[in-house]
Amino acid sequence: MNLSPLIYFSRLYGANAELVTCGGGNTSMKENGLMYVKGSGTALKDAVTDTFVGMDMRRLLGILDEEYPADDAAREAKFVHDCALAKLPGEESKRPSVEALLHALFPQRFVLHLHPALVNGLTCSQNGESECRRLFGDSVVWVPACKPGYTLAKIMKDVFDASARPIKTVLLENHGVFFGADTVEDLAVHLNGMLNALNACVKEKPDVESDAEEPGYEDKIRRFSGKQYVNFNASPTALRFAASPEAAAPIMKPFNPDQIVYCGPRVKFANCENCLNSIDANVIVMRGKGIYALGDTQKAADNCMTLVKDAMKIVVYAEAFGGAKPMDQELVDFIVGWEVESYRKSVTK
């Protein structure tokens, strides 16, 4: 299969920081019963032929006809194992995105899956579902938040089976968006149509960039967190959240799997310097000062800050849709223990 169109749009969207952060998002292409999908832990912006894992579509889709255990860990282990069995000969050393099966459900030749902050302003909002219907009518399918992996694939299959017409766009609550199209041009049309519609709703633009000097807590944070790398952000939007515990409330819980992967499940609000004597989070909102993102490596701290900025943007965008809505704690706990995401974090450090 000639993967050049796939490589082209993977790089194009992967290089756009408004659309892709860290290792997020994935893409695929199908032809004659075969599908090439992005490997887990690779970056779209650096896509080359080797980034993609060749899979047998029939074998992959066959997973949804099998019986799976009810127990989370057993089910997800079997799911990853069975997805791996659908790899084409010669692809043994690669690991396909855990979302590969979702790509296979789309009948279209190309699939683009992203987690952009602007889109997640809608998917992580209180009125997400009704606003999705108001803005996009029947042209976009809304899938409520659920456990990723096998459970999401099963729910998506039911959605596709029940639809009378071909589905081109799916919004996943607290997660992101899928676009399917038969041409690269149509992918752009779908994506831009959605971004334009959402931009028109936005009340206020987030301002999350900061070159402010760290106010002098860095050494203490290193000592009490055990994390050697500390990034600081005192952008206008960060300062708004840092004003009080009430103002910080919307960013105290994760919105999507990416944040759990790169920031961990907890955010600490520090009222004063003494509150830094015990730190059990990678993100610290320091009252009146700004927000810290920590990591064991510079890359980890940078990724953590990238996702903190993403969370701030989501909250600001979600104001247009009834305010932000974090993930359910049950879902957060599931993702924390999910081997698939530990793997993604381990290879993108």
Nearer to Zn ion, 128 or 176 (CB): 176
Contact footprint for Zn ion (CB under 5 A): 176
Strand partners, 178: 113, 170
Residue 87 CA from chain centroid, whole number: 24
Nearer to Zn ion, 96 or 176 (CB): 176
Closest residue to Zn ion, based on beta-carbon distance: 176
* Cβ neighbours, 10 Å, residue 182: 13
Nearer to Zn ion, 25 or 54 (CB): 25
Pairing of strands 229-233, 141-143: unpaired
Q: How far is the CB of 176 from Zn ion (least distance, A)?
A: 5
Q: How far is the CB of 20 from Zn ion (least distance, A)?
A: 11
CA distance 162 to 332: 29
Q: How far is the CB of 175 from Zn ion (least distance, A)?
A: 6
Q: How far is the CB of 99 from Zn ion (least distance, A)?
A: 5
Nearer to Zn ion, 116 or 206 (CB): 116
Q: In what order do the strands lie in the sheet with 110-114?
A: 52-56, 34-38, 26-31, 110-114, 176-181, 169-172, 141-143
Q: How far is the CB of 195 from Zn ion (least distance, A)?
A: 17
Nearer to Zn ion, 227 or 344 (CB): 344
* Cβ neighbours, 10 Å, residue 311: 30
Q: How far is the CB of 97 from Zn ion (least distance, A)?
A: 8
Nearer to Zn ion, 176 or 290 (CB): 176
